[in-house]
Amino acid sequence: MSERSYVKVEDVMSVNIATIDATATVQDAVNKMRDAGVSSLVAERRDEADEYGLVVVSDIAKHVIAQNRAPERVNVYEVMSKPVLTVAKDMNIRYAVRLLVQFGLSRGLVVDESRSPVGIVTLRDMVLRHVD
């Protein structure tokens, strides 16, 4: 019996991870996103017992701009998602897609065996690769 090959999350993820402190302002986050050319930032953990967070452009649109709040007066921790859904780098993209869809998410934080971030994976990237 032959083994079927599959596409791993690490084969399609973006390794360009930009991070931010959760106490930074949304204005700082927007500036960092613009400079790094990304649409999401990973909020760093405070310590080993903490979890990662994720702030996405849509969070800023929904919780800051649409509510007419001042980006320089809102902290990242007020609008970010935490804990962020993580996927293992060696997970089959078919299951990663199912996981993200199940939770209504567009992206997940990719982690290695020690739970350290190694990338970001989006539904778009996985769908386009899976259909190839």
The angle formed by the CA atoms of residues 57, 119 and 95, to the nearest 5 degrees, is 95
For residue 1, pLDDT beyond 90? no
Type of residue at 95: Y
For residue 37, pLDDT beyond 90? yes
pLDDT tens digits along 55-77: 999 999 999 999 999 999 999 99
Contact present, 89 and 7 (Cβ < 8 Å): no
Report, as an integer, the average pLDDT of 25-53: 95
Spell out the domains of the chain, with CATH numbers in brackets: 9-131 (3.10.580.10)
The pLDDT score that the predictor gives to residue 132 is: 65
> Would the pTM count as exceeding 0.75?
yes
Q: In 50-92, which residue ranges form alpha helices assigned H by DSSP?
A: 57-60
